[in-house]
Amino acid sequence: MDVLTNVFHGFGVALLPVNLLYCFIGVFIGTLVGVLPGIGPISAMSLLLPVTLSGTPESGIIMMAGIYYGSMYGGSTTSILVNIPGEAASVVTCLDGHQMAKQGRAGPALGISALGSFIAGTFALIALMLVAPKLASVAIAFGPAEYFSLMVLGLVVLTFLTQGSMAKALLMACIGIVLGLVGLDSITAQPRLTFGRIELIDGIGLVPVVMGLFGLAEVLINTEQAIKRDVINAKITQLLPNKDDWKRSAGPIGRGTLMGFFLGILPGGGAVVASFASYALEKRLSKTPERFGHGAIEGVAGPEAANNAAAGGAFIPLMTLGIPPNVVMALLLGAFVIHGLQPGPLLITQNPGLFWGIVASMYIGNAMLLVLNLPLIGMWVKLLKLPYNVLFPLIVLFTIIGVYCSSNNVFDVYVMIAFGIIGYFMRKFGYEPAPLVLAFVLGPLLENNLRKSLILSQGDLMTFVERPISAACLVLAAILLIVPMLPSLRRKRELVALDEGA
């Protein structure tokens, strides 16, 4: 019952009026930056980091954490409404979320993503309280070989993302991988495909690519269509998910939560893989996979639950080992350090009030987010009724500001515009951007970990099968690739048999 006393202690800290206030400010700002495309949690947190210096460490870190998970909530809003993912983890939400919005079901889509996120976030926090110290070892059990196999598994997911031609999807994935190669080679530090441009040394930014391919391309393709409002024409029937929506979403939320939590613990790409993998899993399990990509609510519920659970899981390596699994967590680590604290194995024992206070505040913050977000849904849906000649310039304006803010670099704005034009033509000719983005994110990780594992194993490829976690990932990937072929083979055989019979 040690945990219970600690939890009570934590709530004691989190419920202090000043901490409640900071928590609210944090989730409020988080929701705002999540909703504004491009202005992600990273820019918001780095700008506000100095502000937290005046208060106690607890309140400062509670606010920073609030911005982080608040933005996870808000991020899905733009994906659903205007097809602009704020970050890689919400790319997959665009696929079905925006389709739902086009069918006049933006309300249920936003509702399920808020409620799914709440459920996943709550579960992740309870798990964080109960098993955090034990799971710390998971994060370090993953070496380069394990990551390589995990990335292979992640890329297999590509086969589930495609709605149209598989050949086109693979072509997009190849382009994504090549784009990911740009910049300094991560092993030898030689510049690759930079064409002598210093701006390309660090590679092409993810934010401009994603904003261009999704947001700007969406605007471009819409301007060419005759101004007919498909959104307004479709009657907005309801604001919240109905019974049928819930029945469809319960399973995806549960599975997404578990997957997100465990993948979120892993440093690097965990949340992205989790959201894509959840989508793939739901499509695979669904009796009606053809609905995916055309507004299936399962395709929103699962990935949204996964990326929020991943946000909770990500705290484990930070709090227990001092290892931040992503950039946002690294910023949070910075917040700890300027308050004179070092997250690490000693943090929980030396500073229990801080650790449990933060965890408890996240629980309170999650509840605040739900209260904050549900009433907003009605407002967001109304936003879609804005005339296109107002809405589109606004979207373009926000994407440009967002891209510029994320790097303070005009070059990135050009990159975004270029990808907007590329995305426009891709859409015209039926190429999908999601495989490109997935490959762009995972490709460099795959290459880097492959080469690192081979350095460590001195060129022995057996390392991938000898290590159990790695082998398990590879087997799972193989199963995922082979199994879908079996029923179709069978069906084909049956068809042939029928033909012969007739």
Binding pattern for the stretch 361-400 against another protein, x by CB under 8 A and - elsewhere: ----------------------------------------
Residue 346 binding another protein, by CB under 8 A: yes
| Backbone φ and ψ of 414, nearest 5° | -60, -40
Q: Would you say 105 and 119 are in contact if contact means Cβ atoms under 8 Å apart?
A: no
DSSP secondary structure letter of residue 184: E
Both tokens of 204, joined, read 């092409």
Q: What is the total count of residues that contact another protein (CB under 8 A)?
A: 55
To the nearest 10°, report the CA torsion of 300, 271, 152, 159: 10
Residue 469 binding another protein, by CB under 8 A: no
Question: CB under 8 Å to 489, separation ≥6 — which residues?
Answer: none
Residue 262 binding another protein, by CB under 8 A: no
Task: State the minimum distance, in angstroms, from the CB of residue 181 to another protein.
Answer: 15
Closer CB to another protein, residue 327 or residue 489? 327
Classify residue 438 as exposed, middle or buried by CB count within 10 Å of its CB (0-12, 13-18, 19+). Answer: buried
Q: Which of the ranges 280-288, 396-404, 406-414, 422-430 carries the binding residues for another protein, by CB under 8 A?
A: 406-414
Which residue among 455, 475, 481, 495 contacts another protein (CB under 8 A)?
Answer: 455
Task: State the minimum distance, in angstroms, from the CB of residue 207 to another protein.
Answer: 13
Q: Which of the ranges 82-90, 116-124, 322-330, 494-502 carries the binding residues for another protein, by CB under 8 A?
A: 322-330
Q: Which amino acid is at 208?
A: P
Residue 133 binding another protein, by CB under 8 A: no
Closer CB to another protein, residue 133 or residue 378? 133
Residue 199 binding another protein, by CB under 8 A: yes
Task: State the minimum distance, in angstroms, from the CB of residue 323 to another protein.
Answer: 5
Q: Which amino acid is at 171?
A: L
Q: Which of the ranges 21-29, 76-84, 210-218, 448-456 carries the binding residues for another protein, by CB under 8 A?
A: 448-456
Residues 286, 298: Cα–Cα separation, whole Å: 9
**How long, in residues, is the chain?**
502
Residue 475 binding another protein, by CB under 8 A: no
Both tokens of 366, joined, read 């999650």
Residue 331 binding another protein, by CB under 8 A: yes
Q: Would you say 96 and 303 are in contact if contact means Cβ atoms under 8 Å apart?
A: no
Residue 182, classed as helix, strand or coil, is coil
Closer CB to another protein, residue 410 or residue 495? 410
Closer CB to another protein, residue 120 or residue 272? 272
Residues 76, 117: Cα–Cα separation, whole Å: 10
Which residue among 134, 342, 387, 491 contacts another protein (CB under 8 A)?
Answer: 342
Residues 285, 269: Cα–Cα separation, whole Å: 24
Which residue among 22, 142, 214, 279 contacts another protein (CB under 8 A)?
Answer: 142
Buried b (16+ CB within 10 A) or exposed e, 447-456: bbbbbbbbee
Closer CB to another protein, residue 384 or residue 441? 441
Distances (CA, A) of 55 to 15, 63, 249, 428, 500: 16, 11, 41, 53, 79
Binding pattern for the stretch 21-50 against another protein, x by CB under 8 A and - elsewhere: ---------------------xx-xxx-xx
Closer CB to another protein, residue 81 or residue 211? 211
Residues 358, 346: Cα–Cα separation, whole Å: 16
| Backbone φ and ψ of 192, nearest 5° | -125, 135
List interacting residues with another protein (CB under 8 A).
42-43, 45-47, 49-50, 139-144, 184-191, 196, 198-199, 201-202, 267-268, 317, 321-325, 329-331, 334-335, 337-338, 340, 342-347, 407-409, 448, 452, 455-456
